[in-house]
Amino acid sequence: MEEFLRKSEYFYNHRTDMKPLLDGFLYESESLFFYGASGSGKSLFAYAFAVAIAGESGEFLSIPCATNKKVLYIDGEMHYNTICDRFESLGESNNLDYLSSTDMVSNKVNPINLNEEVNFEELVDIVIKNQHDLVVIDNVRTLFQLTDEGSSESWQRVNDLIFRLRAAGASVIMIHHTTKEAYKIDGELIWSGSSNAITVVDRTCGIDKIADQSFSLVTGIKEGRSGDGWNMALNDMAFKVTDKGLSTFDYHLDIVEQLNSYHYWLLNQLDMKSRDKLKVFNHRFGLGLGKKLTIEPVWEASKHMWQMVEDDFDLSAFRHLLKTGELPSQNPDNKPLF
């Protein structure tokens, strides 16, 4: 170790200019821990981002991004058909290499296990040899075959790989899950597992499903090494998946319009049973709560929407609305106020 004793001048001479891959989201040689619940759109977002910086458009979701970057996308679970669907809806690029565990198993090769030394070192060699600018690990649970996410030791190998890939000059996105219980604490989405999961990562960011095929980002507590922090437009952004890829939209306006429509419908359906009113709401807003609905879970899944239009809207107000069609601030003419 003695040969690596340095003075400050050495480190100043090795300081690098970290250019953005996506302005205010990820920079060269940074790592991002990207997490969300099952079906939250984390893989769709990460793949669409990877295709964008591998291409020549120069923007992703209306934000400036890098171009012609070499990307390695490592997929631990998707079937051939799902992979092809993703290519067709989100695009593809000759600068993007796709490594699939499904493909390996179909060709009678063991699936990727980055906890094994041979797989770990081979991946590092692949990135160095091909000079990949970005490596996407989708996802940590399958590609590291984690059996105990709550154990600090389970994440050591993940941290080692991030460190090695960054040292090789690559940016890294590690995709992981949240638990069903851990939703938001102080505005941040919380991942599944030990706090050691983010020991060496530069940025943390969650993704939240807000409606059917519609998502939003929740930027985390780690803001990167570039010194640029987060592009706060990301927190205000909502996007949806279409047959032409990802597109942004005004989530607040969209929700208000849908609530307005539901309210008008409700005023003409007051004799309907409350459960049937809840079923219609569940379907219209894509809450995915199943058929045996009660008011409490519907309220928990939708309260953020109602509070966009009335700050004092609570569970009691929701019950009253379903019964009478009246909002807390309802005007005398019985018309929606939003």
**Per-residue model confidence (pLDDT) at position 337:** 45
**Per-residue model confidence (pLDDT) at position 279:** 92
**Per-residue model confidence (pLDDT) at position 330:** 64
Q: What does the domain layout of the chain look like in residue ranges?
A: 18-249, 252-324
**Per-residue model confidence (pLDDT) at position 209:** 79
**Following DSSP, what letter does each residue of 49-90 receive, concatenated?**
HHHHHHSSS-EETTEEB--S--EEEEESS--HHHHHHHHHHH
**Per-residue model confidence (pLDDT) at position 185:** 47
**Per-residue model confidence (pLDDT) at position 180:** 59
**Per-residue model confidence (pLDDT) at position 95:** 98
**Per-residue model confidence (pLDDT) at position 303:** 87
Residue 275 makes CB contacts below 8 A (sequence gap 6+) with: 293, 294
As a whole number of angstroms, the distance between CA 306 and CA 144 comes to 41
Of 127, 132, 146, give the one whose Cα is nearest residue 197: 146
As a whole number of angstroms, the distance between CA 332 and CA 177 comes to 48
Architecture of domain 18-249: 3-Layer(aba) Sandwich (3.40)
**Per-residue model confidence (pLDDT) at position 235:** 75
Burial of 323 (0-12, 13-18, 19+ CB in 10 A): exposed
**Per-residue model confidence (pLDDT) at position 256:** 87
As a whole number of angstroms, the distance between CA 58 and CA 66 comes to 6
Residues of the chain with pLDDT under 70: 180-189, 330-338
Q: Which residues of the chain form beta strands (DSSP E)?
A: 20-22, 26-27, 31-36, 59-60, 63-64, 71-75, 96-100, 134-138, 171-177, 184-185, 188-189, 203-211, 214-223, 238-242, 245-249
**Following DSSP, what letter does each residue of 151-189 receive, concatenated?**
-GGGGHHHHHHHHHHHHTT-EEEEEEEPPSS--EETTEE
* 293-298 long-range Cβ contacts below 8 angstroms, 24+ apart: 295/319, 295/322
**Per-residue model confidence (pLDDT) at position 181:** 53
As a whole number of angstroms, the distance between CA 146 and CA 115 comes to 8
Record the tokens describing residue 278, joined without a space: 């809840």
DSSP summary character for residue 104: H
**Per-residue model confidence (pLDDT) at position 54:** 98
Give SS3 for 29.
Answer: coil
Residue 331 makes CB contacts below 8 A (sequence gap 6+) with: 337
Contact 111, 76 (CB under 8 A): yes
Give SS3 for 309.
Answer: helix
Neighbouring C-beta atoms of residue 41, cutoff 10 Å:
23
Neighbouring C-beta atoms of residue 290, cutoff 10 Å:
9
